[in-house]
Structure 1
Amino acid sequence: MLSHGLNIGKNRENNTKIKGGNYMEKFKKQLAAFISIVLIVGLFGTSVFAETTEVDVSGETPATAVNGAASTLELVDFDKVDAKEAVSLLLKLGLINGKVQADKKVAYEPDAKLTRAEIAKLVAKAVTLVSKEEIKGTKSFADIKGNWATDYIQYCADKGIIDGAGGAYNPDNNVTGLETAKMLLAAMGVEGLTGSDWAARTEAAANEKGLLKGTKAVNGTPVDRDDAAQLIYNALTISDGSSKLPQVIVVSETTEKASFTIGKNTLVTAPEFKLVTMVADGRETQMDAGTYNNVTLVVTDKLKTNPASFTGRGIEDYRAAIYVDKNGLNKSLSVTQAISGGTYTDTEASGIKIDSTGRNFKGIIVNGGEYTVKDSTINLIGKADGSDTSDFTGLGSAVAAFSNAKVTLDGVEINTEGVARTALFTDSGADTMITDSKFKVMGGTLYPGYVNTADQTKMVAPPWVLGITGNARGTNLMGNFSTATVVRTEATANQWGVLSTDSGSNMLLTVVDSVLTLLGEGQKDPYSTNYGSGYGTYIIGDAQEYFYGTTFNVGTYASILTGGKAVYASSKFDKPLDIYPLKQKLTGRTRTNSTGEEEEVYDIVKEDTPVFTGITGQGKITTINSDAFGFMAHNNGELVITDGTVVNTDNATFLIKAGDVQLTVEDGAQLNTKDGVILQMIDNDDSIVGVDFSQGAPNFNTDFYEKAGYPDIDYDIDVKTDGGNTVKFNATDVDLKGNLYNGTGYFGGGPGGGLQPADKLEVTLGKGATLTGTISATSVIHVDENGKQNTHFTINEYYYLGHVANKVHYNGGNDISVTIKDGAVWNVTDTGIITSLTVEDGCKINGTIKVDGREMTVADIIAKGGTVKGTIEVSKK
């Protein structure tokens, strides 16, 4: 699954394994590889000396094969480079990345020459390194129209950094060393480098500034890539940042300063494979412009292998106060200067406090091994805008666990601000438990120009096609067979989601006696009037989620289902609860799948040994309070509402947009819906919006369109009756009041897409079940909060998705079969149409039944074998 929000096809059964890896992992890689191919288009025809276009390779293809080198380790000829320090830094800063060879390896080619087009790009990217200014300009030359470097050339010309001769720039000519020096000096604010003696003036100024330090032959001949890198490095590190060219301060070792000033056009960094963190007055502090006191510039190692299961972003620059691996506390990766109070060891931290104003600093990383955090506080209060955070990799999370780690948080308080900064991130088979704690994740303001996308390399806000907004997820659970357990904890997020699962498979989430709340500060949503837009939990990748005595306070959904199972029950445990992670058990059988591949059949079972034990319950029921819907499904899965669980919603308890979904309501569960709808099936309006790949990534279209009127009532359509899904609704030992509608088979799958097939609904009322309401096939239209049809709305009105009105109508495909058994009772409140009715002796239908226009009684149906089929109208007596 690329990410929640983008559904391509249906989930496979979760009991097979494609040889060479389970299905979910192979599917993700195939999809990521497809995206990579799309993104690669457009890279050719330009030098990759300075090319840094982002490409998601997701572990399928080395970065060197498509986008140059990310580090000197990937340069096959780095040993031939003289300007090693310069090349290393420029690679780290993303200004250069080598040249892809015919064998897909990457070389730096230090002796190769640069063109004037290439140097324009390098200088433009160097100038905007800190400001991030858009590289565009107006001043032009006669010979650059259509050139790949036009924007860079015009930008530099507008800034007075370059000029041409006779109205031409000659972009394909080699650039000389002195021409390169002149451009850099101009960017540094040096004037007077014109006239017939510009070369002499340039050389003199370059010597005076120290620009030529470490170079070999900077003169009137074409400059090689080695000297070019050294010149750019020198210019950046010599500059004071007062002109166009930034000042780059390279910190090579941990340093203490009583006072430290950072200019507005200054970047503080460390050498390649190192990271630098500023701690000021005991707090990790973002290195923005300003003067800071009692500063320690802490240099730590950068990870060289990726601990995250999602690899599309490469290896993140993880910095944390505490970094633990299987050998214990790793001091070379820890910024312990950001810790105050308490104690910390190789295995435990107690009573500590971690304060940060940085944009992506992390509190604690546990990459293998076990670690316990007790009675501690982590405050990550930065201004992250999403440009350098990710809750698919845990970059910026308060606590992150990777590589089969076991992490226990007890009595911990976590507060984060900023886009995509989770409180707890669990990945790669890790197990985490948070007990008697509280966390609040508030999100922030997205960077200008953010595009709503399903591309996980960039996604820091929910796909609007889910009908929600925000940029804060309280937790995220990823990878294969990872687990997260939340006990007696107050979990709060502003908007998006409180607890989430994402890319991975067979994850386990267990929540006991906890409160999950979405706040909704700053939102404008006519439906989410009490709580924040978003969901309490997300269920994906065959995840299993269990909620015992949990309270949900949410604005849109308690949960979104797109592959997996969730159970909502009380915490009235007969015995303490133990947490057994899931595992894959091969059966020894194989079969051929629909694509002709040989699959090994496996089962998902519990591990033999629990990872957490002795969890006691407080005897609470699970209560769901939602301003809009109870649950939304847009793929396969199962939901069980049991053991007295109470679901309070303004709109439909169950909103089913797609998938073979099984719904079980039993054992005294209560479904209280203000609009009188228990189950609403509609065509998937995720798909109706559609995804745009034209920009090289799966970005969501920003408009929803619908024809006026009820389809197949006010206008004709051709209903696709084959290939649909089946929703099964089963009720026992419950008293239900409300309606069940199947309004599928009308709308297309996005711009240019064909109709979605109509789905089937199977309703079973069993022992102890009473339904007072209507069951019917319907035609639907999207409506606003006033009940008026919404024929068009935009991404800014995300909240309208899923909200529909119904008219009774059977379109030939939206079949409904109803089974009444074991003494169940159906009290019919209005007219509806179904297509199959089975009634057992001893059951009651308090209503009028007409089968193909002929009135029948329950006794008549039983006399005919208990089942009738056709166009069945069931109405109130």
Structure 2
Amino acid sequence: MTLMTRRSVLIAGTATAGAVLLPAASATAGTKTSGKRISVGSGETYELSATTRVSELSIAEGGTIAAPDGYSLSLTVDGTETGQLLTETGGTATLIQAGTYRGDVVLTVAEATAVTYETLTFPFRQALYVDAAGVDRDKSVLTAVRGGKVTDAAARNVSITSTGECFDGVFVQDATYTLNGTAISLTGNGRCDFAGYGAAVVGDGAATKLVLDGARIGTKGVVRTAVIANDGANVVVKNSVLHTRNGVLPADYQATVETPYMQSVPWMLGLDGNVRATNLIGKSSKATYLNSTVFSETWGALSVEGGSGLKLTVVDSHVGNTGEYGYGTYAIGDAVVRVLGSRFDVGSYATIIAGPAAVVHYGASTRAAVAALNTELDLGLSAAELKAFPVRNTVVNSGHFGYMFFGAGTLTLDGGTVINSERATFLNKGQQTAISVDGAGGTRLNPGDGIILQMIELDDPGPVRVDGKMLNTGVYTEPTGDPAKDATFDVTAAHTADGAATFTSIKLKGDFYNGMRKGKNMVLTFEESTVEGVITASRTKHRVDTIDASTFYELGIVTNTAQAAVNNGVVVRLNSGSAWTVTGTSYLTSLALAADATVKAPRGKTVTLTVDGVQTALTPGTTYTGALTVTVA
């Protein structure tokens, strides 16, 4: 391997070396270089054809310093990238701003790194660019890589600092590379976290295996993401700390769901913020976080966004949000998200499940499970590393809900997972779900408001097309009047598209409400479990009648009035070894009792069942359908 330091880049020794003054017609007349200084006057353009070191760079308002076509220009002062800002909101180009820069001033002329995402091409600049041949000096700004050692296979104990906009720390394209003990600090806005423009670390391409070990990454800025895995890359982050903080959006930014221009979270998720800590995108990409700490201020910590065949894995890690709102993980498409032996301290949700076929699992970091992941995901963990992982359960602490479905998906909780949430454990916004909770290992659900499962209509108003742009200016309006009965929908049956949940070997205390207006049943199955609470169809109402971006936090928060089902059936199956202690009037549409299942009232009270208005005995081994009302007195 070839050993390099930041001095190995070709740097011109004088202010004028490599500098080209354009003809007067190009508005460069009067541009001056003096000794080891460059001065660019107002209305002038100064073009550099080679990397240049000076002691002072002065650019007047209206002056421009640039590189030739096909090249980028980056400014470092005393080893820190600085001075660069986007030229317009929603644009891609950056420009070194007017001002005077003194110290070890280096202007690096690098080969352009153009990355196209959908309709836009982003002119990337990065401290370290790595491809299959190793470190590409011609595309790297090596004066921004300080200390440590850099080879074609690894960078050890280096630091990268940026205070300009849209500067990446490390970009690895179709290569195997390791970052050991890397420290990256980025302050200032990025531009697109679907492309990685302005991220600390990007792993891109199906041939990429990128390992971060002992990294310390901190960013502050709009979409200034810490780590991105894209287009089939396998990114492994271990023993590391990642922390991102929000920046300040441009005054003329218009919030949108159009991903090439999206720089803030869609408020319709019940969130705010403008930077997420990580993003997993593309086709068949993998991102794994081991024994690491990953926090965003708001928005989200570990995001999965678009693509297919994506795998996000978290083991023995601490994940969350430092602000009031935010999620731990996001699962979209057919993504597989696994969280083992970790702690989540989140503002709003442990996971948002956006579907339509996402699979999410929270469980314990057993030795067998971690070893299987090591093989499946090609993590490269040694026997000693595998042995060092503690076997422990997962704990979630959420300031709002446990999990939110606004797309179809499968969610499994087992291995002693504990979910502590201020509001409902599961918030289902009208989606097909397959929730499975296994309490055999000590799994517990602790909703602060006493609601385990809340089903409501989707309260996302969606974007609005304004002058050809999809803007986040929609307004949710609470429906009025009673829902119209759909005579074609069977409220007594279980349908594939229903909201289903199965609870096995667990003791539950809490309520279940189906507040849907359109045809969707809540289907609950209990195996060797006990449940104490209300299970019912309901009429829901938000705390306010309209919700827009200024009141995003009201989304999902409703009150329930128990009432007979209209199009919102409640199908309950009490299988062998299960018992339901009814604590309040409950309206069902189907109740199936195993031969040893029981329905009872709290001590000192009596439970009564009516079927279509007729009082009926509760008999084990019987199935009841129709308009069922279960009361206690």
Query: TM-score range with shorter-chain normalisation?
Result: 0.7 to 0.9
Q: Which amino acid aligns with 1:348?
A: A
Q: Secondary structure at the match of 2:232?
A: coil
Secondary structure of 1:625's counterpart equals: strand
Q: Does 1:645 align with 2:417?
A: yes
Equivalent residue number for residue 146 of structure 1? none
User: How far does residue 244 in structure 1 lie from its aligned partner after superposition?
Assistant: 12
Distance 1:822-1:266 versus aligned 2 partners, 3 A rule: farther
Contact 2:283 2:307 in 1 (8 A): yes
Matched, 1:837 2:598: no
Q: Is 2:231 aligned against 1:428?
A: yes
Q: Give the alignment of 1:319-398 within 5 angstroms.
A: 319-382=125-188, 384=189, 389-398=191-200
Paired amino acid for 2:194: F
Instruction: Report Cα offsets for 1:157-182 as digits up to 9, x if no partner.
Output: xxxxxxxxxxxxxxxxxxxxxxxxxx
The residue aligned with 2:526 is 765
- Alignment partners' CA distance in 2, 1:670 and 1:519: 25
Q: SS of the counterpart of 1:456?
A: coil
Q: Note if contact 2:41-2:60 (Cα within 8 Å) is conserved in structure 1.
A: no
SS of residue in 1 equivalent to 2:307: strand
Deviation at 1:701?
A: 2.5
Residue 542 of structure 1: aligned partner: 334
CA offset at residue 571 of structure 1? 1.6
SS of the residue 1:425 aligns to: strand
Q: Is the 8 Å Cα contact of residues 565 and 638 (structure 1) preserved in structure 2? A: yes
Residue 354 of structure 2 is aligned with which of 536, 539, 562? Answer: 562
Which amino acid in the other structure matches residue 285 of structure 2? S
Q: Tell me the CA shift for residue 472 of structure 1.
A: 1.4
Superposed displacement of residue 721, structure 1 = 6.3
Question: What is the deviation of 1:806?
Answer: 0.7
Structure 1 residue 466: Cα displacement: 0.4
Contact 1:779 1:810 in 2 (8 A): no
Where do 1:239-638 residues align within 5 Å? Answer: 246-286=43-83, 287-293=96-102, 294-304=104-114, 306=115, 310-314=117-121, 316-382=122-188, 384=189, 389-404=191-206, 405-520=208-323, 532-563=324-355, 564-574=358-368, 576-579=370-373, 615-616=386-387, 617-638=389-410
Could you tell me how far apart the structure 2 residues matched to 1:243 and 1:351 are?
37
Q: Which has the higher strand share?
A: 2
Specify whether residues 249 and 576 from structure 1 end up closer, same or farther in structure 2 by C-alpha distance, changes over 3 A only. Answer: same
Q: Deviations over 1:826-862 (max 9, x none)?
A: 1111111111111101111113322112223332x62
Q: Could you say if the C-alpha distance between residues 439 and 243 of structure 1 is closer, same or farther in structure 2, counting changes exceeding 3 Å?
A: closer
Q: Distance in 2 between matches of 1:421 and 1:669?
A: 36
Check whether the contact 2:40–2:46 (CA below 8 A) recurs between aligned residues.
Answer: no
Q: Distance in 2 between matches of 1:465 and 1:274?
A: 40
| Paired residues of 1:720 and 1:758 also in contact (CA < 8 A) | no
Who is 2:562 aligned against?
808
In the TM superposition, residue 683 of structure 1 has moved relative to its aligned partner by 0.6
Once the two structures are TM-superposed, the CA of residue 268 in structure 1 deviates from its matched residue by 2.9
Residues 224-252 of structure 1 show CA distances to partners (whole Å, capped at 9, x for unaligned) of xxxxxxxxxx1478799x99975433222
How far, CA to CA, are the matches of 1:720 and 1:545 in structure 2?
39
Code of the residue aligned with 1:291 in structure 2: it is T
RMSD: 2.4
1:695 aligns with 2:460: no
Check conservation: 1:453, 1:463, Cα contact below 8 A: yes
Query: Quick one: distance in 2 between partners of 1:330 and 1:542?
Result: 35
Deviation at residue 695 of structure 1 after TM alignment:
2.2
Q: Which residue of 2 aligns with 1:726?
A: 498
How far residue 682 of structure 1 moved from its aligned partner, in angstroms, is 0.6
Q: Provide the C-alpha distance between the structure 1 equivalents of 2:547 and 2:350, rounded to a whole number of angstroms.
A: 24
Q: 2:538 aligns with which of 750, 753, 778?
A: 778
Q: Report which of the two structures shows the higher radius of gyration computed on alpha carbons.
A: 1
Q: Which moved more, 1:434-443 or 1:697-706?
A: 697-706
Number of the residue aligned with 2:455: 681
CA separation in 2, counterparts of 1:504 and 1:854?
A: 53
**Structure 1 letter corresponding to 2:256:** T
Measured after TM superposition, the shift of residue 697 of structure 1 is 2.3
Aligned to 2:553, the other structure's residue is in SS state helix
Cα deviations by residue, 1:632-657 (Å, 9 ceiling, x for unpaired)? 00111011111111111111111111
Structure 1, unpaired ranges of 5+: 1-208, 214-233, 521-531, 582-605, 746-756, 784-789
Distance in 1 separating the partners of 2:160 and 2:44:
30
CA-to-aligned-CA distance 1:89-118 (integer Å, 9 cap, x gap): xxxxxxxxxxxxxxxxxxxxxxxxxxxxxx
Contact 1:343 1:350 in 2 (8 A): yes
Q: What secondary structure does 2:113 align onto?
A: coil
Could you tell me whether the CA contact under 8 Å between 1:278 and 1:297 is conserved in 2?
A: yes
How far apart are 1:705 and its partner, in Å?
1.9
CA distance in 1, matches of 2:337, 2:235: 14
Residues 1:263 and 1:720: Cα distance change in structure 2 (over 3 Å)? farther
Query: Aligned equivalents of 1:246 and 1:782: distance in 2?
Result: 57
Structure 1 distance, partners of 2:139, 2:521, is 55
Superposition deviation, residue 443 in structure 1: 2.0
Q: Distance in 2 between matches of 1:506 and 1:724?
A: 23
Residue deviations 1:368-411, cap 9 Å, x none? 110001112111122x1xxx511110011111000121000111
Structure 2 length normalisation: TM-score?
0.86
CA contact (8 A) 2:23 2:29 kept: no
Q: 1:251 to 1:237 in 2, by over 3 A?
A: farther
For residues 771 and 237 of structure 1, the distance between their equivalents in structure 2, rounded to whole angstroms, comes to 83
Partner of 2:10: none
Q: Percent identity?
A: 32
Aligned-pair CA distance for 1:484: 0.5
Q: Work out the CA distance in 1 between the residues paired with 2:284 and 2:196.
A: 17
Give the aligned residue type for 1:693: R
1:740 to 1:301, Cα distance in 2 relative to 1, 3 A: same
1:809 Cα deviation after fit: 2.3
SS class of match (1:495): coil
The residue type equivalent to 1:252 in the other structure is S
Per the TM alignment, residue 666 of structure 1 is displaced from its structure 2 partner at its CA by: 0.9
Give the distance between the partners of 2:44 and 2:581, measured in 1 at CA: 77
Aligned to 2:281, what secondary structure does the other structure show? strand
Residue 796 (1) aligns with residue 541 (2): no
Report the residue type matching 1:849 in the other structure. Answer: L
Structure-2 residue corresponding to 1:818: 572
Distance 2:433 2:568 in 1: 15
CA contact (8 A) 1:433 1:484 kept: yes
Give the Cα separation in 1 of the matches to 2:537 and 2:339.
32
Note the C-alpha offset of 1:702: 4.0
Counterpart of 1:13 in structure 2 is: none
CA shift for structure 1 position 267: 3.4
For the residue of structure 2 that corresponds to 1:693, the secondary structure is strand
Q: Counterpart of 2:362 in 1: which secondary structure?
A: strand
What count of residue pairs does the alignment treat as equivalent?
574
Instruction: Work out whether residues 719 and 811 of structure 1, in 8 Å CA contact, stay in contact via their aligned partners in 2.
Output: no
CA distance in 1, matches of 2:301, 2:369: 28
1:577 and 1:613 in contact (8 A); partners too: no
